[in-house]
Amino acid sequence: MATMTSPTSPASVVGRRAQFRDLFASEWIKLFAQRSTYVLLALAVVIGVCGSWLSSGGVHLISASARAGYDQVSGSFSEGTFAFLTVGAGAMGAITMVSEYSSGLVRTTFIAVPDRRRIVVAKAAVITAVTAAAGLVAAAASFITAQSVLGPKHLGVSFGDPHVLQAFLASVALVPVSAVIGMCIGALIRIPVATFFVVFLAQSLLADAIPNNSSSKLLSTVSNAMPRNAWYGLVSQHTSYDNSGPFPPGALQCWVALLVWPLLAVLLTMVVVRRRDV
């Protein structure tokens, strides 16, 4: 008597894993087929080094009183540097969607894999892996460069000092978070120029749309939930130099914000690609 294979048998599970592995490899090839991918990855290192050198190199220009309250940790991960990195990461995430829609390749992709949600998951997995590696290199470059400048001025910190590891991990995480948000924007708009313009606005201006030093606790909470502000809440030691306002965010609040944003972005992208035709 023939034995039927259960849908949850090990053979079927292995099959599903192999299929997703192939899908992941396909999305990886698509991403690195774009020349802009290599440019953006190279810029991550350049921005990390140059931005950190420029920001930390001007410490000697601040007054003695301000220097006494200087945040050595946030000074090692310049806000301006990571503001540029979020724009670049968002653009890379947008490329994963926009390039396929603008070329028409997305039709072939959807025919080959009718379950569009799996495509979104594969794209998100690829862009997260690539930009997390870029974020790791950029954060390390930023920290090392800053210490080479701040150390001789007796303002340096070591990696083992309190708060430094948290700041480093947050700096690494911010890059893939921004990339996944960019992917979502690409799925929503699909037009290259308009997409990159919205990515720039979202990543560069959204963090400053609501002042985090507002006297209103509600406005401060909303502002601190923005991805870059949540990152800064983890990097900053909330000294007078940082000007975090009367309601500085807690570490848990900031980590939750950095986790929720990409999850919402992926879920919204799944809804969009299922409900909208190519």
Could you tell me the CA-to-CA distances from 243 to 145, 237, 247 in Å, in that order?
A: 24, 10, 10
For the residues of 40-66, what is the DSSP string, one character each? HHHHHHHHHHHHHHHHHHTGGGS-HHH
User: pLDDT 10s digit of each residue in the chain, 278 long?
Assistant: 444 444 545 444 444 444 888 889 989 998 888 888 888 888 888 888 888 888 777 666 565 555 666 777 877 888 888 988 999 999 999 999 998 888 888 888 888 888 889 999 999 999 999 999 999 999 999 999 888 888 777 777 888 888 899 999 999 999 999 999 999 999 999 988 999 999 988 887 777 777 666 667 787 788 888 899 899 889 987 665 556 666 778 889 999 999 999 999 999 999 999 877 66
pTM for this entry: 0.85
Separation of alpha carbons 4 and 19, rounded Å: 22
